[in-house]
């Protein structure tokens, strides 16, 4: 069973999170929702709520914090402080960063997220970024390649990448997309790359897209 991490933060766009997570689960992908706290928040992890307050107020409970997932996955040495500096074994078949301005700001600025993006690509695994989530391509210092994003962050990206306005851009293992309105084709593209075209078709049909839908 393929695995996917779908990241979430306060301010994540809840449609982009939910459509991606749900579509992959429908295709048999084992999904984990992993939370990254806002570093400027005064709440400590010990009292952080077990949910993300998303961009339009939907509150979604997450499976684990990203940090706890990374800590749990490394081979524990004598010293916990050393441990968190070890290279992570938190590798999924797809590592996905949704948008929402505030959520994407938190996710893209997280050193752990940046490192895991690099490690996933080095390991030949897929990385998905949608909407303002594509800012992570910049912060993780990915090499110049084709990508897309929400238009609101185009100006931040176009000097560093070959900017496209296609709904979904596949650049090797980096899959990018634009906004809530492109999340279905984004999620279905991830599913076809993880599980094949037949699985995508099996999942897409009962969703009942209107006639003429261009994906």
For its own copies, the binding residue among 44, 46, 159, 210 (CB under 8 A) is 210
- Contacts with its own copies by CB under 8 A: the residue count is 43
**Would you count residue 178 as binding its own copies (CB under 8 A)?**
yes
Annotated active-site residue 79? The verdict is: no
Per the annotation, the verdict on 150 as an active-site residue is yes
Question: Binding its own copies by CB under 8 A: which of 4, 5, 7, 15?
Answer: 15
Catalytic residue, candidates 13, 14, 54, 131: 131
Among 120, 125, 185, 189, binds its own copies (CB under 8 A): 185
Answer yes or no whether residue 41 interacts with its own copies by CB under 8 A.
no
- Whose Cβ is closer to its own copies: residue 60's or residue 74's? 60
Q: Which of 16, 31, 54, 195 is catalytic?
A: 16
| Spatial contact of 161 and 134, defined as CB atoms under 8 Å apart | no
Indicate which single residue of 45, 61, 72, 80 sits in contact with its own copies (rule: CB under 8 A): 61
Interactions with its own copies, residue window 128-157 (CB under 8 A)? 150-152
43 is catalytic: no
| DSSP conformation letters of the chain | --EEEEEE-TT--HHHHHHHHHHHHHTT-EEEEEE---TT-S--GGG--SEEE-TTS-EEE-SEEHHHHHHHHSPP-S-HHHHTTSPP----SEEEE---HHHHHHHHH-HHHHHHHHHHHHTT-EEEEEGGGGHHHHHTTPPS-EE---GGGHHHHTTTSEE--SSEEEETTEEEE-SGGGHHHHHHHHHHHHH-HHHHHHHHGGG-PPTT---
Residue closer to its own copies, measured from CB, 66 or 188 = 188
Query: What residues are paired with 56 via a beta bridge?
Result: none
By residue count, the chain amounts to 215
Which positions are catalytic? 16, 131, 150
| Chain contacts with its own copies (rule: CB under 8 A) | 13-15, 18-19, 21-23, 25-26, 31, 33, 51, 54-61, 150-152, 167, 178-182, 184-185, 204, 206-215
């Amino acid at each position: 069973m393929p695995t996917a991490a779908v990241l979430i933060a306060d301010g994540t766009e809840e449609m982009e999170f939910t459509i991606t997570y749900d579509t992959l689960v429908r295709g048999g992908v084992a999904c984990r929702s992993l939370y990254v706290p806002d570093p400027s928040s005064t709440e400590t992890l010990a009292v952080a709520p077990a949910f993300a307050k998303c961009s339009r107020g939907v509150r979604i409970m997450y499976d684990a914090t990203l940090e706890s997932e990374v800590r749990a996955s490394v081979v524990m040495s004598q010293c916990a402080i050393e441990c968190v500096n070890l290279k992570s074994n938190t590798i999924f078949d797809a590592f996905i960063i949704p948008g929402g301005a505030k959520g994407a700001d938190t996710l893209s600025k997280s050193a752990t997220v940046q490192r895991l993006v690099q490690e996933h690509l080095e390991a030949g695994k897929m990385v998905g970024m949608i909407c303002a989530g594509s800012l992570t391509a910049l912060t993780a210092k990915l090499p110049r390649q084709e990508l897309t994003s929400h238009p609101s962050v185009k100006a931040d990206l176009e000097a560093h990448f070959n900017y496209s306005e296609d709904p979904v851009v596949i650049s090797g293992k980096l899959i990018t997309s634009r906004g809530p309105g492109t999340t279905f084709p984004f999620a279905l593209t991830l599913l076809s790359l993880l599980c094949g075209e037949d699985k995508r078709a099996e999942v897409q049909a009962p969703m009942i897209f209107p006639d003429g839908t261009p994906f």
